[in-house]
Structure 1
Amino acid sequence: MTEDDPLAGAILEHWSGCTLPLGPRKRAGTAFFYNELVESTPEGDRVREWWLTADHLTRTKLGEVRLRSDLVEPTGAASDYLAVPDFEKMWSRRSGVAVMRTFFLHEHAAKRGWSWVAVQITDGVAAKAQHVRAVDAQPRRAYALGHITREVGEPGEERPLAIATSNIARDPDGVVRWQGSLPDGFAGGPVFIAERRDDRGFVLRCLGLIASADRNPGVFTFDAIRSLIGELVRPKPPKGGFFRRR
């Protein structure tokens, strides 16, 4: 974990509300909300909201989602956790990343008479391809958000949000890796880096998500995440293929 750090403080201030604890203790992880910008007009922005995590956390028939009381309005209106049948069928996956639209979360809340007040990682904060390419073999500071586990692994147990800090670097195989270990529950959580902007200080970006709870885990970066989402929303060609006009 990190000591007093202004960048860690800024991450917690702006994005502590983007995460949810996912899974029981034996498959504990973190998922987070991402807000994809589809179109910007004078009338406002049109966006699509996604839920992102690590692929292996979604490979279960019955999903367990912890409902944070601080992200529920009115307070106390939701149960401690949500059991989701057919969980593995709800996700799209590639290269270790799992994504899904958040319709079922909002529909569940509406049926129960409450609403989400979660924060999203926005398109402007999510790293672009050039930001990902800038991560090389030279270690640089990084921060991760995740929901740690407690000793008692019962359904509905408290899974507090924590922030961890270490270095990331690109290994000889081209994989961006978190250097060192992370507590159980951080898999799937967002990873942030800071870019210096001359005399204007730093700009924080979400580089991607933590692949696993192993030591020196990979970081699934937003260029791969955007590519997967792009395939999901790209219009499909008409069935039946091409035909010849007479």
Structure 2
Amino acid sequence: MTEDDPLADAILEHWSACTLPVGQRTRAGTAFFYNELVDSTPEGEHVREWWLTADHVTRTKVGEVRLRPELIEPAGVAPSYLAMVDFDEMWSRRSGVAVMRTFVLHDHAAKKGWTWAAAQITHGVAATAEHVRAVDAQPRRAYALGHITREAGAPGEQRPLAIATSNVARDPDGLVRWQGALPDGFAGGPVFVAERRGDGREFVLLCLGLIASADRNPEVRTFDAIRSLIEQLTRPRPAKRGFFRRRQPDGTKSGKNPPGK
């Protein structure tokens, strides 16, 4: 953990409200909100909001999502946690990452008479492919947000938010890894690095990606992979080929047989 670190303080100030504790027992982890910029016009910005975590955290029929009281408006109207049925079917997954749209969270809140006051990792904060390529074998200071768990398997356990610091580096296989261990519950949490700007005396904080596993030296799944998965999910699907009917000028229909007929 960190003490007297201005970058850690900045991360907590801007993004401590973007995370939620998810799961319990061996699948205790952290999920966070990501705000994807779709396009920007003079009239405003079009965005899509996603919920991101590690793949293995979502592999359960009933998911437990802790509701942080400070992220609920009005205060005191929401339960301490949600038990989400068919949790494993709500997510799309690839390469250790799980993503889902946040409609279900906002729809549930609206039905119950409250709203989310959560923050998001925005498009501009999420690392680009160029930022990711800049991470090499040289250890680089990094920070992770996660909701720790002290009593594995305890339903409804209070899971406070914590920030951890270590280094990230690219291993010989080309994977970006967090160096060292993290407390239980950090899997799926966001990872931040500082990017030098201008004359090198200024820093800009970027979200590099998320912690993809719960083991020692866990892999960090970077935002280029996360964006690739999201682009695949939102890409327009081509029209299906096969049998169709077309109306002729005389009102009759002609048909085209499916391939092989």
1:48 counterpart residue number: 48
| Equivalence for 2:60 | 60
Between 205-214 and 147-156, report the one with greater CA deviation: 147-156
Query: In 2 relative to 1, CA 52–45 (structure 1 residues): closer, same or farther, beyond 3 Å?
Result: same
Aligned twin of 1:151: 151
RMSD, matched Cα: 1.5
Mapped contact 1:81–1:155 kept (Cα < 8 A): no
Q: How does 1:219-238 map to 2 (within 5 A)?
A: 219-238=220-239
Shift of 1:242: 9.5
Q: Report the alpha carbon displacement of residue 24 of structure 1 after superposing the two structures with TM.
A: 1.1
Say which is worse superposed, 204-213 or 151-160, in terms of deviation: 151-160
Query: Which digits, 9 at most, give the CA deviation of each residue in 1:70-116, with x for residues without a partner?
Result: 10001111101100011111100011100000000001100110000
Residues 1:196 and 2:196 are matched in the alignment? yes
Structure 1 alignment gaps of length 5 or more: none
Equivalent residue letter for 1:67:
L
Q: Residues 30-75 of structure 1: CA distance to partner in whole angstroms, max 9, x if unpaired? A: 0000000001011111100000000011111111100110100011
Larger radius of gyration: 2
The residue type paired with residue 171 of structure 1 is D
SS at match of 1:99: strand
* Closer/same/farther in 2, CA of residues 242 and 7 from structure 1, 3 Å limit: farther
- Matching of residue 112 in structure 1 with residue 87 in structure 2: no
Are positions 1:186 and 2:186 aligned together? yes
Residues 25 and 149, structure 1, Cα contact 8 Å, conserved in 2? no
The 2-side partners of 1:112 and 1:150 are apart by: 30
What's the secondary structure of 1:182's corresponding residue? Answer: coil
Whole-Å separation in 2 of the counterparts to 1:59 and 1:98: 10
- 1:177-232 per-position Cα deviation (integer Å, ceiling 9, x unaligned): 00000000000000000011134510000000001121100000000000000000
Which amino acid is the alignment partner of residue 93 of structure 1?
R
- Give the aligned residue type for 1:27: R
Structure 2 unaligned runs (5+)? 247-255, 257-261
- Whole-Å separation in 2 of the counterparts to 1:31 and 1:64: 11
Measure, in 2, the Cα distance between the counterparts of 1:68 and 1:242: 52
Aligned counterpart, 1:71: 71
CA distance in structure 1 between the partners assigned to 2:166 and 2:67 by the alignment: 28
Contact 2:151–2:157 (CA<8 Å) still a contact in 1?
no
Which residue does 2:172 correspond to in 1?
172
Distance in 2 of aligned mates of 1:57 and 1:160: 18
The residue aligned with 2:218 is: 217
Offset at 1:155?
Answer: 1.8
What's the CA shift for 1:154? 2.4
- Offset at 1:156? 1.6
**What is the Cα deviation at residue 23 of structure 1?**
0.2
Change in Cα spacing, 1:152 to 1:237, as seen in structure 2 (3 Å) is closer
Q: Return closer, same or farther for 1:241/1:183 CA change in 2, 3 Å cut-off.
A: farther
* Alignment size in residue pairs: 245
Structure 2 distance, partners of 1:160, 1:154, is 14
Letter in 2 for 1:215: R
Match of 2:259 in 1: none
* TM-score normalised by the chain length of structure 1: 0.96
Letter in structure 2 aligned against 1:225: I
Judged with a 3 Å threshold, the aligned counterparts in structure 2 of structure 1 residues 107 and 134 are, in CA distance, closer, same or farther, namely same
Q: How far apart, CA to CA, are the structure 2 residues paired with 1:136 and 1:150?
A: 34
